Amino acid sequence: MPCGQSKGDIGLRRTLHRAVPAAAFFLIVASVANAQERSIARGSVFGCQSWDTYKTIVEYAADNDKEAFNRAYANAMISGECTDFKIGEAVYVVDTGLISVKQRRKGDTIGYWTTIQVIYTLLN
């Protein structure tokens, strides 16, 4: 037994060594179990894999710079960095920000940032 440690200290460490991974597993399972399917609430919604890209394109629109918006939007769509969502399309929330949400399509693994107002919980 290492100097300065009692049998109780070692036993507690072993218990914690087993309990912490188990607790982490249950937290992960609980968060997955609480994931709710949502759907797009309004039309003409786009999202981008990068929050910075999404924010830049939205800022062009807010500045009423149609030429910059159209160019950035088209380039992001062509590159696959951004995508359009259809009204009623099923999505899952991956991450959230203060006014933003990262969502992925049902069956897809890629998430896209958009504003939080564009989704709602499906009522089943």
φ, ψ of residue 108 in degrees (nearest 5): -105, 160
pLDDT band at 113 (very low <50, low <70, confident <90, very high): very high
pTM value is 0.65
Question: For residues 48 and 72, what is the distance between their CA atoms, to the nearest angstrom?
Answer: 12
Q: What is the pLDDT of residue 32?
A: 40
Q: What is the pLDDT of residue 116?
A: 73
pLDDT for 45 beyond 60: yes
Q: Where are the domains of the chain?
A: 1-34, 37-121
Q: Which of 114, 96, 94 is nearest to 104 (CA)?
A: 94
What average pLDDT does the segment 13-26 reach? 44
pLDDT band at 61 (very low <50, low <70, confident <90, very high): very high
Question: For residues 84 and 67, what is the distance between their CA atoms, to the nearest angstrom?
Answer: 19
Question: For residues 101 and 118, what is the distance between their CA atoms, to the nearest angstrom?
Answer: 9
What average pLDDT does the segment 54-82 reach? 96
Question: What tokens appear for 47 in the block?
Answer: 């999202």
The DSSP bridge partners found for residue 121 are: 38
